[in-house]
Amino acid sequence: MKAAAPARIVCLTAETVETLYLLGAGPRIAGVTGYAVRPAEARHKPRIAAFTTAHVERILALKPDLVLGFSDLQAEIVRDLVKAGIEIHVFNQRDIAGILAMIRTLGRLVGAEKKAENLAAALEKRLAAARRHGAKLKNRPRVYFEEWDAPAICGIRWVSELIELVGGADVFAERAHQGIASARMVSSEEIVAAAPDIVIGSWCGKKFRPERLAARPGFAQVPAVRDGQLHEIKSAIILQPGPGALTLGLEAMEKIIRGWRNPGA
Give pLDDT < 50 ranges for the chain: 1
Domain boundaries, the chain: 9-124, 138-259
Backbone angles phi, psi at 90, to 5 degrees: -110, 120
**Predicted TM-score of the model (pTM):** 0.95
Residue 182: DSSP 8-state = G
**Residue 13, amino acid:** T
- Looking at residue 265, what is its pLDDT? 76
Which has the closest alpha carbon to 8: 61, 83, 52? 61
The beta-carbon contacts of 187-191 under 8 Å, at least 24 apart in sequence, are: 187/152, 188/152, 188/216, 188/217, 188/218, 188/219, 189/218, 191/144, 191/152, 191/219, 191/222
- Looking at residue 205, what is its pLDDT? 81
For the domain 138-259, what is the CATH code?
Answer: 3.40.50.1980
For the domain 9-124, what is the CATH code?
Answer: 3.40.50.1980
Q: What is the DSSP string of 234-252?
A: -HHHHSSTTTTIIIIIHHH
- Looking at residue 2, what is its pLDDT? 62
Q: Are strands 142-149 and 152-154 parallel, antiparallel or unpaired?
A: antiparallel
Q: Do domains 9-124 and 138-259 have the same CATH topology?
A: yes
